[in-house]
Chain A
């Protein structure tokens, strides 16, 4: 499916969405104004863990411009409990999660009161007048300590939420007598998603019906969940996701603020708006990652993998949100990655702490898994004295072995790891860089070179409903699309996938243009409003094109089949005499005779001469449930220069070769990869949601939580290999998360590679200059740190060892 002059699919179309985005005509939720709109502000707990002993709202209630003030007890009867839709085990502990705390707060940032006022300034003033007394309780911040018998409890039920296990093959046999066993513990630090648009919600009540605008990735899921949580009948709710400024999983949520805005609008009988500040959001938007990964591999003397054993502690935070407990499970199927082995065991325990709840963040489980396996594959290579690509090639699934069922039970449809790696090595000039690295090491250069490898794959395109059901997820993974053929031949496309930056309006137009033989410009894509798009499963897990695109192709096919009958009547031939060629129904053998979809649409609209029993409509819809996940893969290679005197890391070059099957729009695909790669680099080098000993988030603002700027990252060299997916008619694989999944291990492996001569085997993320410097200066092969910073360091030993030295 390559681009030709006649084909839209494959063309680097500049986006339709941009016309409003570059001119400031965007409809962000916070832009919405309505007559009588009141502003909501929330008071949040300054304590990680405390009992609320008294709340005095009197002064706030009489402040100027204040309509109402509420604390937890005022809404306790109607606020319900925020939903967890993924009870991963039968005996999972799912604590009650009131949107507004009633008697106890369990993380700093939890809502304890709400003000409704005439504007945001009056609301902010009134918050200051609310007096809450707390009785501090001990914070629970460390996962292993939280599981000790004497630990303070986050919830009465205890600090363990669940333990979930996946096993296949004889692990004991794999490890027994294995010539090589390597065991490591890696830390996946806690991250904050930081979509550029802070969350916002507007609710307009009219009689007993409610319209909600929310900066959400999931208007359809949200609507169902709001009905279940509040008891408002589902058909009295309409949810609109207008323009949404990024999500990365953080807006895949049913939030306390959404539920409370709905309840407050109902109480007051007037429209309300809540807009988050960044500082508020850093503590209140769900966080991502935060795992302790104990990983063990057994291998033959030549590096052939025998077994893999993974033990995870996953920080749930204080509560389970919509898919909190399921995120590590998405990683369970990915630790084995592209590699063959005899046995695998995965074990994960979800732990409660008094921190902001965690949930899906770009990649959701797969970046964590990919990091761990790609890191330990490097450790294996070093142990064996092999090149990291050599040990990978020894173990990866060969291209002729597809389709291949992995040790974790997934069946990968297509892939070619050899081709992607060969192209990446070539573009990267791998051999030349290795020579330069050796020369710098031999000269004990102050600035070392490190080469990082990441041969990732991932599972995306969420998801086959049967698989989700078997994993105890509450909903399905299908997607919906509809086509409305307008009388003038224009096309309205409705998708249940809700875009927030991905470019659906452009990519969907390209697909429909080819499927229906209409100009790209004649297609308009509608999404994100449950009154227009009545069903959908929304956007996350790199699913929109793989699942939603399949539904779209199916809906287009239905339009064509309806059109065929009408076209046959128009031309007075039998439908079987027609063939679809060059974007129209033409008479077989007489291609001059044909009708375009536009002509047929007008005939259906006029409906004067339709055959008996044929409805006057070409409209269609389709709902598609995928049979399998989608498995993009690729080889990312990163070269870093590490200043061993300062710990400064500079990414010198980065090559990404990705195989995402067929490409609808290369411009959009490259953009997804650029952004994804930088988000993965951000985890490797810059970002960490850090808490102090009292459980306060100390990275609450963008001054403290360091998301990279243009000056912090390089340009990337991108290239593609293509093994079209056999799992969907477009032959596409997901691309939204691939870059993030791939890049974190590529960067950290490069840093560690630069520092192996010093005996360093790991640097904890984020690899800040201080951590890199400390890793060098505490490593076994290095002299003690020089005080004063002017003394030349001792030359490090040249041999690479598998000793200690982890930072």
Chain B
């Protein structure tokens, strides 16, 4: 099936099998390997991307369902809203500063889920952050510094500042 979509600001026209998962399209057709795959039951959230600005698990979206959509991955997040000397998104910077990652495998999905979370609720409590990230699993950090990073990013920005 023919699809047209925008990934991190670049337009792709392609012909794909109907069964092709969006995450496989991103990784193996578009070469956007910044989005990893952690499970096959949509439990872990490692493959989370923004689809038209809303977080989705890209393993549970078919590539053809993304026809006409705009996809933001971790590789395009900073370009969409980078700031400061490092050119990183505030959440990327906060994860770095607060040591919100160890192996880093869950990190792209965790950050993109947090972008959506802060878009919905710019000033969340710790409990709201924990509940909001329930669909993203991390095995290294015990979540404490992830939560701290999200709260820090929320505090460092106002309103639309963290939007992708």
A contacts, CB < 8 Å to B = 14-15, 17-26, 28, 30-31, 119-121, 194-198, 243-246, 248, 277-279, 500-503, 667-668, 670-679, 701-703, 707, 709-711, 713, 715-716, 739
Q: From B36, B107, B133, give the contact of A710 (CB < 8 A).
A: B133
Between A and B, 20 residue pairs with Cβ closer than 8 Å are A14-B99, A22-B104, A24-B33, A24-B73, A26-B34, A120-B24, A196-B139, A197-B36, A245-B103, A246-B102, A246-B105, A278-B44, A500-B103, A670-B99, A671-B145, A678-B143, A701-B39, A707-B139, A709-B143, A710-B138
Q: From A28, A279, A501, A716, give the contact of B142 (CB < 8 A).
A: A716
A668 in contact with B99 (CB, 8 Å): yes
The answer to whether A674 and B40 touch (CB under 8 A), given A22-B88, A22-B95, A710-B147, is no
| A527–chain B nearest beta-carbon distance, Å | 14
With the chains together, A678 CA to B126 CA distance in Å? 17
| B28–chain A nearest beta-carbon distance, Å | 7
With the chains together, A20 CA to B105 CA distance in Å? 11
A702 in contact with B103 (CB, 8 Å): no
Q: From A15, A30, A703, give the contact of B99 (CB < 8 A).
A: A15
Residues in chain B near residue A709, CB distance under 8 A? 130, 133-137, 143
B28 in contact with A501 (CB, 8 Å): no
| A521–chain B nearest beta-carbon distance, Å | 14
Residues in chain A near residue B41, CB distance under 8 A? 278-279, 701-703
With the chains together, A344 CA to B129 CA distance in Å? 48
Residues in chain B near residue A701, CB distance under 8 A? 39-41, 43
With the chains together, A730 CA to B4 CA distance in Å? 57
B78, B139, B142 interface centre (most CB from chain A within 10 Å): B142
B103 in contact with A713 (CB, 8 Å): no
Residues in chain B near residue A715, CB distance under 8 A? 126, 144, 147
| B104–chain A nearest beta-carbon distance, Å | 3
Q: From B17, B33, B99, B103, give the contact of A196 (CB < 8 A).
A: B103
Q: Residue of B at shortest CB range from A196?
A: B105
**Contact mask B90-129 → A, CB, 8 Å, 1/0?**
0010011101011111111001000000000000001001
B108 in contact with A24 (CB, 8 Å): yes
**Which residues, 59 to 83 on B, are CB-close (under 8 Å) to A?**
73-75, 78
With the chains together, A21 CA to B105 CA distance in Å? 8
| A549–chain B nearest beta-carbon distance, Å | 18
Q: Does B154 contact A (CB under 8 A)?
A: no
With the chains together, A285 CA to B136 CA distance in Å? 22
**Contact mask B15-39 → A, CB, 8 Å, 1/0?**
0010110001001100011111111
Q: Does B131 contact A (CB under 8 A)?
A: yes
With the chains together, A739 CA to B102 CA distance in Å? 15
B contacts, CB < 8 Å to A = 17, 19-20, 24, 27-28, 32-41, 43-44, 46, 73-75, 78, 88, 92, 95-97, 99, 101-108, 111, 126, 129-131, 133-147
The answer to whether A245 and B88 touch (CB under 8 A), given A18-B104, A196-B140, A715-B144, is no
- Pick the 10 closest A-B CB pairs, nearest first: A24-B34, A501-B103, A21-B104, A245-B105, A674-B142, A678-B142, A24-B74, A702-B43, A278-B39, A501-B102
Residues in chain B near residue A246, CB distance under 8 A? 102-103, 105, 139-140
Q: Residue of B at shortest CB range from A682?
A: B139
Q: From B20, B95, B106, B108, give the contact of A18 (CB < 8 A).
A: B95
Q: Residue of A at shortest CB range from B91?
A: A22
B141 in contact with A28 (CB, 8 Å): no
B37 in contact with A198 (CB, 8 Å): yes
Given contacts A196-B44, A702-B39, 9 further A-B contacts (CB under 8 A): A24-B32, A28-B36, A28-B105, A121-B20, A243-B104, A245-B103, A246-B140, A500-B103, A675-B139
With the chains together, A22 CA to B149 CA distance in Å? 12
| A19–chain B nearest beta-carbon distance, Å | 8
The answer to whether A674 and B137 touch (CB under 8 A), given A22-B101, A22-B111, A246-B103, is no
B139 in contact with A671 (CB, 8 Å): no
Residues in chain A near residue B147, CB distance under 8 A? 710, 715
The answer to whether A676 and B139 touch (CB under 8 A), given A119-B28, A278-B40, is no
Residues in chain A near residue B144, CB distance under 8 A? 674, 715-716
| A531–chain B nearest beta-carbon distance, Å | 23
The answer to whether A30 and B36 touch (CB under 8 A), given A679-B139, A713-B142, A716-B144, is yes
Residues in chain A near residue B138, CB distance under 8 A? 196, 710
A710 in contact with B39 (CB, 8 Å): no
The answer to whether A667 and B103 touch (CB under 8 A), given A198-B37, A677-B142, is no
Residues in chain B near residue A503, CB distance under 8 A? 102
The answer to whether A710 and B104 touch (CB under 8 A), given A22-B95, A23-B78, A702-B43, is no
With the chains together, A244 CA to B139 CA distance in Å? 13
A279 in contact with B40 (CB, 8 Å): yes
With the chains together, A711 CA to B132 CA distance in Å? 8
With the chains together, A23 CA to B92 CA distance in Å? 7
Residues in chain B near residue A22, CB distance under 8 A? 74, 88, 92, 95-96, 101, 104, 107, 111
B137 in contact with A17 (CB, 8 Å): no
| A708–chain B nearest beta-carbon distance, Å | 8
Residues in chain A near residue B95, CB distance under 8 A? 18, 22
With the chains together, A236 CA to B43 CA distance in Å? 41
The answer to whether A710 and B99 touch (CB under 8 A), given A22-B107, A279-B40, is no
Residues in chain B near residue A195, CB distance under 8 A? 103, 105, 139
| A80–chain B nearest beta-carbon distance, Å | 30
B103 in contact with A244 (CB, 8 Å): yes
Residues in chain B near residue A245, CB distance under 8 A? 36, 103-105
A502 in contact with B102 (CB, 8 Å): yes
| B156–chain A nearest beta-carbon distance, Å | 15
With the chains together, A536 CA to B97 CA distance in Å? 31
B40 in contact with A21 (CB, 8 Å): no
| A585–chain B nearest beta-carbon distance, Å | 35
Residues in chain B near residue A23, CB distance under 8 A? 34, 74-75, 78, 88, 92
With the chains together, A471 CA to B46 CA distance in Å? 41
Residues in chain A near residue B75, CB distance under 8 A? 23-25
Residues in chain A near residue B139, CB distance under 8 A? 194-196, 246, 248, 675, 679, 707
With the chains together, A173 CA to B129 CA distance in Å? 57
Q: Residue of A at shortest CB range from B96?
A: A18
